[in-house]
Amino acid sequence: MHNPWIAEVWRTGLILFAALLLGVFVGQTMLFLLIAVSALLAWHLYHLYRLERWYRNRKRFHPPQAGGIWGEVYYHIYQLQQRNRRRKRKLSRMLNRFNESTSAMPDATVVLTADNRIEWFNTAARDYLGLRPKQDVGQRIDNLIRHPRFVQYLQANDFRQPLEMPSPMGGDQVFSIRVVPYGKQRRLLLVRDITRLKRLERVRQDFVANVSHELRTPLTVIAGYLENMGDAEDACATRWGKGIAQMQDQTRRMIRIVEDLLMLSRMEADDREGHRSPVAVPAILASVVEEARAISGSDGHQIELSCDSHLWLKGEEKVLYSVFSNLVFNAVRYTPPGGHIRIRWFRDEAGAYFEVEDTGIGISPQHLPRLVERFYRVDPGRSREHGGTGLGLAIVKHGLECHAARLEIESQVGEGSRFRAVFPADLIIDHQPAEAALES
Ligand code: ADP
């Protein structure tokens, strides 16, 4: 294999040897050697100079021509340069493609630094958020979009759930905003227009609310007549007694479904935060327990309530009543006669807890994730038999969402279940009797 270094060493050796021979021949060995070494040095310096010139002025495409080791050096640098050029071209093509695709994206995308300064954004961000390409790069996004919910969302630093908010440009658009942290201290802000989705959701909600509302009056009339027919002591009542009782049962069931659907629609439709006022939870629980004992009747469940009597909540009384009663009545419905139901209302520094524990039939784990869906029942027959609508836990879920609370469910088949509602600490009211006396 041709090795330029060996050739170079040979060449240098030959030149020095020739100079040595000539020097010996003429009788000036040192002089001739010096001349040879200087010539070699000059040649190398000349090529170093050409290399430096060429490197400095790299736009000149072709490297200087040279023989020997310098030709090799030029060639390798040239190859490196060509490779870098190709890589650069590929990278900039990729970058262009990336820019084009993010610009074409219908969703607004903004790259933010750790302190929420804008680093880059696509075309949709200009239309959705009104960002200006030159002026706004480097600005803090919360200085440009000042909607309180948006500022709070950024500050809270919890991006598990998207934020829904109206367009900061005015108009009736609704946006869903997501923040995705990535790379080193960078955040991607994604904004999606969900106006159509919201409108459809609204149409669905209105439809369910209207149908339920329209059904309520006819059902009440039917229930009224059925009651009269059942109470009458004529031939018709005697003949149709069983049928009338069944019709009454089904009508009552339909009324309960309609009432539950209306309750759900009401919860979905409003911005609940505006409706909050002090709620005496202990009083609600006392009346829920009384009703639960009435429902249990001859089944003789042992219902035990332990309750912090100073623990009130900022919330909506009707909604809270629905949440608590649905959980307690479910415990009665799904616990065999004589079973034990323990209700607790207490607090710690993290929040307030409402807990219902029963020794009932329990729920197997595969049902737990879907339990709060509308009309989802583990055993539809049993649910209907106990007068269930399949909407109870959906109401509980919505009711808790209205109070920024969450539901935790633990259950074991055959052993019992524990449903726990966790309310945030900022909704707690420490209601002291002395304050009550002062108020009155
Ligand atoms: P339903 O009107 O059928 O009770 P819910 O939405 O209140 O509807 O409950 C949904 C399903 O969850 C019920 O059908 C039942 O199977 C199950 N469930 C709810 N609470 C309990 C409980 N305490 N113990 C066992 N199963 C329960």
How far away, in angstroms, is 330 Cα from ligand 1 center?
6
**CA-wise closest residue to 324 among 293, 280, 355:** 355
Residue nearest to atom 20 of ligand 1 (CA): 330
Q: What is the pLDDT of residues 105-130, one digit of tens each?
A: 889 999 999 999 999 999 899 999 99
What atom in ligand 1 is closest to the CA of residue 377? 14
What mean pLDDT, rounded, does the chain reach? 90
From atom 4 of ligand 1, which residue's Cα is the shortest distance away?
Answer: 388
Report d(CA 299, CA 277) in Å as an integer: 37
How far apart, in whole angstroms, are the C-alpha atoms of residue 346 and residue 420?
A: 11
- pLDDT at 38 (0 to 100): 95
In this prediction, residue 440 carries a pLDDT of 43
153 C-alpha vs ligand 1 centroid, how far in Å?
35
Angle between helices 29-56 and 4-26 (to 10 degrees): 150
Pocket probe mutation, ligand 1, options 342, 354, 371, max atoms within 8 Å of Cβ: 371
Cα 275 to ligand 1 centre (Å): 28
**∠ CA(358), CA(362), CA(366), 5° rounding?**
140
Residue 60 has pLDDT above 70, yes or no: no
Protein residue closest via CA to atom 18 of ligand 1? 330
Q: Is the CB of 416 under 6 A from ligand 1?
A: no
The residue ranking higher by pLDDT, 73 or 34, is: 34
pLDDT in tens, 404-439: 999 999 999 999 999 999 999 999 999 887 655 454
pLDDT at site 272: 57
Predicted local distance difference test score (pLDDT) of residue 260: 93
Residue 271 has pLDDT above 70, yes or no: no
Residue whose CA is at the smallest distance from ligand 1 atom 10? 377
Which tokens hold the place of 418? 């524990």
Hey, what long-range contacts does 46-52 have (CB within 8 A, 24 or more apart)? Answer: 47/73, 51/77
Check residue 338 and give its pLDDT. Answer: 94
Q: How far apart are CA 63 and CA 44, in angstroms?
A: 16
Query: Model pTM greater than 0.75?
Result: no
% of the chain at pLDDT higher than 70: 96
Q: What is the pLDDT of residues 11-29, one digit of tens each?
A: 999 999 999 999 999 999 9
H-run or E-run covering 313: strand 311-315
CB-ligand 1 contact for 408 (6 Å cutoff)? no
Ligand 1 nearest-atom number relative to CA 392: 7
Percent of residues, the chain, with pLDDT higher than 90: 68
- Among protein residues, the one with the nearest Cα to ligand 1's atom 21 is 330
393 lines ligand 1 (CB under 6 A): yes
Quick check: helix, strand or coil at residue 318? helix
- Alpha helix stretches (DSSP H) within 278-386: 281-296, 317-333, 380-385
Alpha carbon of 290 to ligand 1 centroid (Å): 20
Residue 10 has pLDDT above 80, yes or no: yes
Q: How far is CA 121 from CA 56, 93, 170, 193, in A?
A: 37, 19, 20, 16
Q: What is the pLDDT of residue 421?
A: 97
Structure confidence by residue, pLDDT tens digits, 315-366:
999 999 999 999 999 999 999 999 999 999 999 999 999 999 999 999 999 9
